[in-house]
Chain A
């Protein structure tokens, strides 16, 4: 059984590696292809791990890997509050 990297969306290590084999080279591309980072915490937990996995696979320095974009809201917010 493969390790879970994104716990919100339950995306496994193997699924992320497969996305990289399919052509993903940035954190946003991995996110779009697998949903890792699309859940309630919006990648706060897995973003760094995904960055390192891409760097490892592409044999690049982790500082070269494009990280994902940040968008409002910072925390999930109920619609009635808006």
Chain B
């Protein structure tokens, strides 16, 4: 039986980040991925490190820490991960959204974020193709983006070169503790052993928890995205609608049809380094189907054409859907599990996984190596559910 210092369950950006920081500390690591690298949320998302959308508090602190790491990661990994700092704007087109957004900006400023409210004229200067009738927008100069697919590739390649072994294409049948070591049996009957295990299975984390009789309150929250052909840049800043932020943080305030609310529609509009626009997105509970729906894609494309009429002749070349690992209280779960020594959870990041991945991996590696975590994230401990 092969033995490791740490086994990571889940080959998404969170699992790979954990693996990366563990291999940096010379740990012998194995990665188990049931399907393919980036098969869940990490491969079906947009590319944002959006500070403006983070709940003021520890999540925002962690996003700021991660952004700092991302800035140096291309050099550290010797691979271009597509990091750009373009800034972001949240467009406000309804009077009743203004008080919520003004209060939101105030709170974020307290955390030292460089965010301001700008008027329609200033919006048009940055984004000349936006529709008339925008009342105001928030503008954040620190919002950035990174290509999650390239980040995963760079982490994977670095880990493999440091000796990480990858078990791909097989789920886990059994997970049990044997004299202080975790024994993991895969569906293909291969068994491996490790002192530490990290459950980074994203929307499937709850299933992994069941194997050791713990309930991890994470469920899939589906999002759909439409991809355009490569087109020239309409404006440097990436765009969200106030509805997107309100759907995420205070869904009861969304003033739209019931169907809109049910689907959790909000506009996100970002351009990849290669020129494709990614048009999102929804927050659909209880929908476990990875296919995209014509109804939703029409809603999303009609919404963006309403905001940017010039896009009406641009082609959609692909659509995709993914499942955010959404925890019951909206906060990630990053800790060892009390009473299950050596079993760690790094999941429940919701739609913030890309933005929080580097700090998550770094802190998990510190926890496993019994070092003091570089950021106190005790409020993300699994203990809160015991």
Tell me which residues from 1 to 29 in chain A have a Cβ below 8 Å from any Cβ of chain B: 9, 19, 21-26, 28-29
Q: Are A72 and B319 in contact (CB under 8 A)?
A: yes
- Verify A82–B317 contact, CB threshold 8 A: no
Inter-subunit contact B153/A33 (CB<8 Å) = yes
Are A79 and B317 in touch, CB under 8 angstroms?
no
Known: A32-B152, A82-B301. A71 touches B38 (CB 8 A): no
Who on chain B is nearest to A21 by CB? B157
* A80/B305 contact (C-beta < 8 A), A22-B160, A23-B157, A73-B317 known: yes
With the chains together, A76 CA to B363 CA distance in Å?
43
B residues less than 8 Å from A25 (CB atoms): 36, 168
- The answer, yes or no, to whether A66 is at the interface (CB within 8 Å) is yes
Known: A82-B297, A82-B298. A29 touches B317 (CB 8 A): no
* Nearest chain B residue, comparing its CB with the CB of A34: B153
Q: A33 vs B42: C-alpha distance in the bound complex, in angstroms?
A: 13
Interface residues of B in 252-302 (CB under 8 A from A): 274, 276, 291-292, 294, 297-298, 301-302
Please, how many angstroms separate the alpha-carbon atoms of A16 and B149 in the complex? 15
- The verdict on A40 contacting chain B, using a C-beta distance below 8 Å, is yes
Chain A, Cβ-Cβ closest to B320: A71
State whether B229 touches A40 (Cβ < 8 A): yes
In the complex formed, the residue of B with least CB distance to A19 is B153
Q: Does B43 contact A (CB under 8 A)?
A: yes
Residue in contact with A22 in the complex, picked from B36, B156, B301, CB distance below 8 Å: B156
Give the Cβ gap from B90 to chain A, nearest Cβ, in Å: 22
Interface contacts (Cβ under 8 Å), in number, total 86
Q: How large is the interface on A (under 10, 10 to 19, 20 to 34, 35 or more residues)?
A: 20 to 34
B contact residues around A72 at 8 Å (CB): 292, 294, 297, 319
A window 38-72: CB within 8 A of B: 38-40, 42, 66, 71-72
- A35 vs B273: C-alpha distance in the bound complex, in angstroms? 12
- Tell me the smallest distance from the CB of B171 to a CB of chain A, in Å: 15
Q: How far is the CB of A35 from chain B (nearest CB, A)?
A: 7
Q: How far is the CB of A82 from chain B (nearest CB, A)?
A: 5
Contact assessment for A32 and B149 in the assembled complex, using a CB-CB cutoff below 8 Å: yes
**Interface on B for A, CB 8 Å cutoff?**
36-39, 43, 149-150, 152-153, 156-157, 160, 166, 168-169, 228-229, 274, 276, 291-292, 294, 297-298, 301-302, 304-305, 311-320
Show 22 residue pairs from A and B whose CB-CB distance is below 8 angstroms, ordered by the A residue.
Answer: A22-B153, A22-B157, A25-B36, A26-B36, A29-B37, A32-B37, A33-B153, A38-B318, A40-B317, A71-B292, A71-B319, A72-B292, A73-B317, A76-B315, A78-B315, A79-B304, A79-B305, A80-B305, A80-B312, A80-B313, A82-B297, A82-B316
